[in-house]
Amino acid sequence: MAQLPLIPYISTEAATIIGIVLVAVGLAMAFWGHGIWASVMSMIGALLGSAVGFLFGSIFGYVGGLVLAVVGAIIGSILFSKLVKVALAFLVGLLAGVLVYSLLRGSATFTQGQMDTPLIVAILVMVVVFALAFYYIDDIIGIITAAIGGLLLAAGLYLLGIPTLLAGLAGLGGFAVGAIVQTAAINRKRKAKAAAAAYAAQPYPPPPPPPPPS
């Protein structure tokens, strides 16, 4: 495999390993993302928390860094697992804002005393989309995680040497099929919960009358 322009300083072996991991995670997110997203966020929080804890703890030596890394991992895991819906909604809003900024041909150059109209519009869109996504997150979580899975799948295939067009089509297909599969699974779970709640709310039938005396 030739050296890849996407990551110019990475070795072939590392690119292959990263590509395989991205493909595996992408498929998991595309088809089971609504069920594993909390675990993924928990792991991300643990990694970030441990890194921050080690940086602060290293002031007190290697042992202090390890101790604070463990503490940071626990705190980060708890925080990120509790903020799953907020993180997903923010991601959707951010992507919408970036898309609007690109469509309005934002130049990312700012002049003091002047307002960048594309940036302001993009921020407003991001806030509105974030609010809507957070409100309807239970309905669209399967679509969001399928989209993330499709992007990871396409990136992984590209790193494995698949042509860009084929990798993009594979990612798009993974997103479409995954969104359908996850939406159907979410609807089944929702109906099962509703049926269980309706059954639990029913009053117990009265006991049968005693048999007549003989």
* Burial state string for 38-59 with b = 16 or more CB within 10 A and e = fewer than 16: eebbbbebbebbbebbbeebee
**pLDDT of 2:** 43
Question: Considering the domain boundaries, does residue 153 fall inside one?
Answer: yes
**pLDDT of 195:** 79
Question: Considering the domain boundaries, does residue 145 fall inside one?
Answer: yes
**pLDDT of 1:** 41
**pLDDT of 110:** 57
Question: Considering the domain boundaries, does residue 100 fall inside one?
Answer: yes
Question: Considering the domain boundaries, does residue 71 fall inside one?
Answer: no
List alpha helices for the chain, DSSP H: 12-57, 62-82, 84-103, 117-135, 137-159, 164-201
Region for 113 from its dihedrals, namely left if φ exceeds 0, alpha if ψ lies in -120 to 50, beta otherwise: left
**pLDDT of 115:** 63
- Quote the tokens at residue 12: 């072939």
Quick one: which of 41, 16, 30, 12 has its CA closest to 181? 30
Question: Considering the domain boundaries, does residue 6 fall inside one?
Answer: no
**pLDDT of 4:** 45
Q: How many residues does the chain have?
A: 214
pLDDT tens-place values along the chain, 214 residues long: 444 445 655 667 777 888 888 898 889 888 988 777 777 777 777 877 888 888 787 777 777 888 888 888 888 888 777 777 787 788 788 888 888 888 887 666 655 556 677 788 888 998 999 898 888 887 788 888 888 889 889 988 998 888 989 999 999 999 999 999 998 888 888 888 887 777 777 776 666 777 777 6
Determine the angle formed by the axes of helices 62-82 and 12-57, rounding to 10 degrees.
100
Question: Into how many domains does the chain fold?
Answer: 1
- Quote the tokens at residue 48: 């970030």
- Are 126 and 93 in contact by the 8 Å Cβ rule? The answer is yes
Domain of residue 137 covers 12-40+84-107+116-188
Question: Considering the domain boundaries, does residue 95 fall inside one?
Answer: yes
**Burial of 19 from C-beta contacts in 10 A (0-12 / 13-18 / 19+):** buried
Question: Considering the domain boundaries, does residue 196 fall inside one?
Answer: no
Question: Considering the domain boundaries, does residue 5 fall inside one?
Answer: no
